[in-house]
Amino acid sequence: MDISVSFSKTRPPPFSPSLCRQLSLRPNAPQLLRFSRNNGTFRRKPPPTISRPNKLAVTAIQISNLSENEDDFVLEDVPHLTDFLPNLPSYPNPLQKSQGYSIVKKTFVSPEDVVAENVVIQKGSPRGVHFRRTGPREKVYFKPEEVRACIVTCGGLCPGINTVIREIVCGLNNMYNVEDILGIEGGYKGFYSKNTMMLTPKVVNHIHKCGGTFLRTSRGGHDTHKIVDNIEDRGINQVYIIGGDGTHKGAALIYEEVKKRGLQVAVAGIPKTIDNDIAVIDKSFGFDTAVEEAQRAINAAHVEVESVENGVGIVKLMGRYSGFIAMYATLASRDVDCCLIPESPFYLEGRGGLFEFIEQRLKENGHLVIVVAEGAGQEYIAAEVHAADKKDASGNKLLLDIGPWLSDKIKDHFSMSRKMAVNMKYIDPTYMIRAIPSNASDNIYCTLLAHGAVHGAMAGYTGFTVGPVNSKHAYIPIARVTEKQNKVKLTDRMWARLLASTNQPSFVASDQERVEKEIMNI
């Protein structure tokens, strides 16, 4: 949605004393200035006509670096219960009387506060997409004594799920005095096929110290009508859904059905994926823990291969379609010689191939360590075993095991073609990594996610997910995090940093050269 004027209450940049004298400004005071693109200078300009889109207050004193038509600010808003229940009453936020929040200088987030999707822009370029900032609002749309909330976890495991569950329960109870909180057991199908449990701060007090999910989980089992029927029958009016891409697609369907029925039910998502492949947000919870735990496996592989002649260690890490864990674990380790991820095709034989690189490193160092994401090289294995495409209950393609396949290929190549014995060491820590409790960094992050979801639901927002965008937490429309997967960009600096760190070949460029040569020889 395009917005014609700047509405955020923004403090101007510090102007030099000479510029202040030139424009007759008071230093460090907000001013209404317009940047001129023609001559690159600031000049006074009368304030624009103020419109108030999306019920957001507009300030009269602000800095605006916009084009003449001022048509380059976009707010991607999230739904609100009053969109389909216009007469819904509001109430003062109980945090006004909170002992904890009484020390906060600004207790409530202004409706004008937004978070920019892109913070690095060029002078004169459009300001782009923004999202609502998370946090408590001055008005809420639920009476605490009338709230019946529920929490459900879906999909695979990830460090930090229990922390999110705990902090939703404690946040609802300690901040908003909500006492009726249900835990849905066993994923989406738990709404209609499992019993629920009552959740209190005492019940969840220690669960953050354990891995897995206290509520148990499952894949699939999503039946929108049955789920919403159960929500309606039980009198649930706040639904907190913890899960990844497929889970959020289900959450969007639940929101649409709730809206269709005109129910006062807030649907809030908390994005979860160990692969860090959720779009828009900076990273998913559990990712830091996964990278940290991956170091143990890489270190073990490095110790093993250093201790033998021609040692080759392979560590397989999670990363179905996105190689973020493998990339960051490689950068953090400094003991990895080569990193293979789904986004970067590689090949084994020929000039610039993996076999040539391994032979070179063995001659130089006597050993090497390879980190491979589980989704890498799938096309090569499939071509050999002629495997049919199969999917799990969540609709994810079942992957072939790249680790043993690559280990056998390397061993066979050097023993048969090079008459050279190599000592293969293969380590697969994937399920160990995702089953551990979250570390300190992820515990803090999970708390912020949980509190953001609670504040949003109490304020009447629905059909949203919560996450950090450029280090500031925001409410994001569910459609934005399910429309595509976040993947490693081979043209970005982070992948370039990895190539510089490992000094491995850029298989993409080499493969293109190889194909071009083959075409020329035809």
Q: Please give the annotated binding residues, written as ranges.
A: 156, 219-220, 244-247, 273-275, 318-320, 374, 431-434
**CA distances (Å), 195 to each of 43, 185, 199, 402, 450, in order?**
66, 7, 13, 39, 24
Write out the E strands in 295-365: 311-317, 338-340
Q: How far apart are CA 301 and CA 294, in angstroms?
A: 11
Residue with tokens 């490689």: 330
**Helix %, strand %, coil % of the chain (to 5):** 35, 20, 45
Helices (H), 423-475: 430-434, 440-458
In the DSSP assignment, the letter for residue 99 is T
Q: Which two tokens stand for residue 288?
A: 């830091």
Smallest CA-to-CA distance from 239 within 201, 206, 196 is with 196
Q: How far apart are CA 32 and CA 23, in angstroms?
A: 11
Q: How far apart are CA 436 and CA 2, in angstroms?
A: 44
Task: Indicate the burial class of 85 (C-beta count within 10 angstroms; 0-12, 13-18, 19 or more).
Answer: middle
Smallest CA-to-CA distance from 140 within 81, 218, 57 is with 81
Smallest CA-to-CA distance from 378 within 419, 319, 293 is with 319
Q: How far apart are CA 219 and CA 194, in angstroms?
A: 14
**CA distances (Å), 98 to each of 91, 169, 173, in order?**
15, 17, 12
360 CB neighbour count, 10 Å cutoff? 13
Residue with tokens 């994923």: 187
Helices (H), 83-160: none
3-state secondary structure of 93: coil
Q: How far apart are CA 110 and CA 136, in angstroms?
A: 9
Q: How far apart are CA 181 and CA 202, in angstroms?
A: 12
What residues are designated binding site for substrate?
273-275, 318-320, 374, 431-434
Task: Indicate the burial class of 40 (C-beta count within 10 angstroms; 0-12, 13-18, 19 or more).
Answer: exposed
Please check whether residue 333 is in contact with residue 312, taking contact to mean a CB–CB distance below 8 angstroms: no
What residues are designated binding site for Mg(2+)?
245
End-to-end CA distance of the chain: 53
Please check whether residue 348 is in contact with residue 406, taking contact to mean a CB–CB distance below 8 angstroms: no
Q: Which two tokens stand for residue 484?
A: 């595509």
Q: How far apart are CA 467 and CA 277, in angstroms?
A: 13
What residues are designated binding site for ATP?
156, 219-220, 244-247
Q: Which two tokens stand for residue 395?
A: 């609709």
Please give the positions annotated as active site: 275
